[in-house]
Amino acid sequence: MRIVFFTGAGVSAESGLRTFRDSDGLWEEYRIEEVATPEAFARDPERVLRFYDQRRQQVLQAKPNAAHRAIAELENFARVDVVTQNIDDLHERAGSTRVLHLHGEILKARSTLDPELVVPLEGAGLRLGDLCPLGSQLRPHIVWFGEEVPLLGEAATLVEQADVLAVVGSSLQVWPAAGLVHDAPAWAQVHVVDPKEVGATGSRIRHWRENASTGIPMLVELLKSGRAD
Ligand code: APR
């Protein structure tokens, strides 16, 4: 059985990391155009670097929650891939070994000269003047709005091969990532774990109207038992 978890900010909400579009979401406080686009970085790099430094500090203080742990533990029973929109490393810290970050990783930086040149950020901040080995300014290893999503094809291939797709904690409002949920095979089971209604519709979808730390362990138990319909 191949299981793909497609996760969004909601899976990390109970670890204390803010989501984007809930009432206290990040986009209630910041304008995307000022902190999360290549134009913003060109116009005011220090502001953008400060925004991601704050995100990074919060990620370093956060801990995986029961949802991350249950997803990781399921690897003992099935082939599990995590396709996440999240830039935190909580899936990895919980023990997941196959995690694909569609929108980048907050604990890495990359060269503004060569996007393939990615360096780890050992928790430090990223400042103007921090240069890559080629001598160009380092930037957050994040996919900003308007930028290509390099791992989209790899993610689609995983979803197309899934027997089970579980969409966890995503409002499915950001494309092309959100489009992945439509790539699941017709026979695949599709579960949504989210306390609210989300964009995924269709009779075959089972919606667990739960927080991730409650709903995911329940879903994982069902999948482990093989009783999932
Ligand atoms: N458990 C499960 N789901 C939750 C929880 C929780 N405890 N709390 C909130 N949610 C759900 C919300 O109901 C919502 O559906 O998580 C979802 C969060 O949606 P968004 O804030 O839009 O986050 P996400 O879908 O991950 O955003 C996608 O947008 O801003 C960009 O690049 C950013 O990766 C991000 C992308």
pLDDT digits (tens, 9 = 90+) for 54-111: 999 999 999 999 999 999 999 999 999 999 999 999 999 999 999 999 999 999 999 9
Is 149 close to ligand 1, i.e. is its CB under 6 Å away?
no
Q: Please give the pLDDT value at position 200.
A: 72
- Amino acid in position 28: E
Judgement on whether residues 165 and 215 belong to the same structural domain of the protein: yes
Judgement on whether residues 170 and 214 belong to the same structural domain of the protein: yes
The pLDDT of residue 227 is above 70: no
Three-state DSSP state, 68: helix
Q: Please give the pLDDT value at position 172.
A: 93
Boundary residue ending a domain (142, 158, 193): 142
The pLDDT of residue 127 is above 70: yes
CA distance 161 to 173: 23
Q: Are 4 and 162 in contact (CB under 8 A)?
A: yes
DSSP 56: H
DSSP 131: B
Is 211 close to ligand 1, i.e. is its CB under 6 Å away?
yes
Judgement on whether residues 138 and 115 belong to the same structural domain of the protein: yes
- Residue to mutate (ligand 1; options 194, 210, 213; most atoms within 8 A of CB): 194
Instruction: Specify the ligand 1 atom closest to the Cα of 212.
Output: 1
Judgement on whether residues 131 and 196 belong to the same structural domain of the protein: no
Q: Are 170 and 7 in contact (CB under 8 A)?
A: yes
Q: Please give the pLDDT value at position 71.
A: 98
Judgement on whether residues 132 and 194 belong to the same structural domain of the protein: no
Judgement on whether residues 89 and 164 belong to the same structural domain of the protein: yes
Judgement on whether residues 91 and 125 belong to the same structural domain of the protein: no
In the structure, what pLDDT confidence band is assigned to residue 162 with cuts at 50, 70 and 90? very high
Judgement on whether residues 129 and 196 belong to the same structural domain of the protein: no
CATH of the domain at 7: 3.40.50.1220
Q: Domain span at residue 206?
A: 1-16+62-103+148-229
> Which contiguous run of DSSP H or E holds residue 93?
helix 90-94
Judgement on whether residues 130 and 55 belong to the same structural domain of the protein: yes
Greater pLDDT, 55 or 199: 55
Mean pLDDT of the chain: 95
- Residue to mutate (ligand 1; options 5, 17, 22, 52; most atoms within 8 A of CB): 22
Judgement on whether residues 127 and 223 belong to the same structural domain of the protein: no
- Known catalytic residue at 68: no
CATH of the domain at 22: 3.30.1600.10
Judgement on whether residues 123 and 166 belong to the same structural domain of the protein: no
In the structure, what pLDDT confidence band is assigned to residue 228 with cuts at 50, 70 and 90? low
The pair phi, psi for residue 97, each rounded to 5°, is: -105, -10
pTM over 0.95: yes
Q: Report the domain count for the chain.
A: 2
The pLDDT of residue 198 is above 90: no
147-151 own/partner pairs: CB under 8 Å, 24+ apart: 147/38, 149/102, 149/103, 149/176, 149/177, 151/100, 151/101, 151/102
- Amino acid in position 91: H
Greater pLDDT, 180 or 124: 180
Judgement on whether residues 157 and 170 belong to the same structural domain of the protein: yes
- Amino acid in position 21: R
